[in-house]
Chain A
Amino acid sequence: MTTAINQAKMDELRDIAVEVLEIEDDEITPTSMFIEDHDADSLRAIEILARIEKKYKIDIPQAELPNMVNLSAVYEVVAKYAGWQD
């Protein structure tokens, strides 16, 4: 599935990710991997998910966590549950 990227939304997701991962904006790219490239663990992943849920007031099943490996993948998942592709 591909989704037309809304850059403002992508920037919001990046802000959440860099804050939780405690890295700088220029260290992350849409395809850099949270675990392999940014030393994330399951706790960071669940924090990112929870912050996204709170910000957009949506519910994302925990089963989606393994899919949320980088910013692009997070965008796809959030778009699905927030209805951004409409």
Chain B
Amino acid sequence: MTTIQHADIKRILPHRHPILQIDRVVEFEQDRRIVATKAISGSEPCYAGLDADADHAFPVSLMVESLGQAGGVLWLHSAALSGEQHTGTLIFGSARDIVVTGAAYPGDVLRHVVELESVKGDNAFMRGEVRVDDRPVVTVGSMLAVLRADEDL
């Protein structure tokens, strides 16, 4: 079983604090599947200034971003292991068929499972699921991550 630690993730993804949204990779099958975790803390920027009476559910948008980043690691680390050179800016292209079935709160650990469906040039198609304690929270039927040259942005 491969564990990819936080420092390694920073070598794979361009994201940095506070938008780097995965902590550790606990399972990695090249070109196929990844399991990554993110611990939610009450000190996340999204909770700054939030009133005690407010809903402290972790934003779905950030859960999907976090899931997408796990997919980015799966794609780019797989490519690197194959000796492929990919350059450009990593972009979250789209997410479709998002189903939200639960919520996550400070103290929870998100467990992302992402499967790589296909890669077409600098475009990767994936699907994934976010769980908390084996309880499904968000599923994404289709995600697209792309790399684009700076001059195309």
Contacts and interface: CB of A to CB of B under 8 A. Distances in A.
Interface of A: prevailing SS: helix
B118 A46 contact: no
A25 B152 CA distance: 31
B93 A43 contact: yes
Interface residues of B, number: 11
B146 A50 contact: no
Contact of A53 (B93, B118, B144, B152): B118
A57 to B, nearest CB: 11
A54 B146 contact: no
Interface string B109-123: 000000001101101
A42 B152 CA distance: 10
A54 B144 contact: no
B89 interface: no
A50 B94 contact: no
B125 interface: yes
Contacts, number: 25
Contacts of B94: 43, 47
25 contacts: A42-B152, A43-B93, A43-B94, A43-B144, A43-B146, A46-B93, A46-B120, A46-B123, A46-B144, A46-B146, A47-B93, A47-B94, A47-B144, A49-B120, A50-B118, A50-B120, A50-B123, A50-B125, A50-B144, A53-B118, A53-B120, A54-B117, A54-B118, A62-B120, A62-B121
Interface of A: 42-43, 46-47, 49-50, 53-54, 62
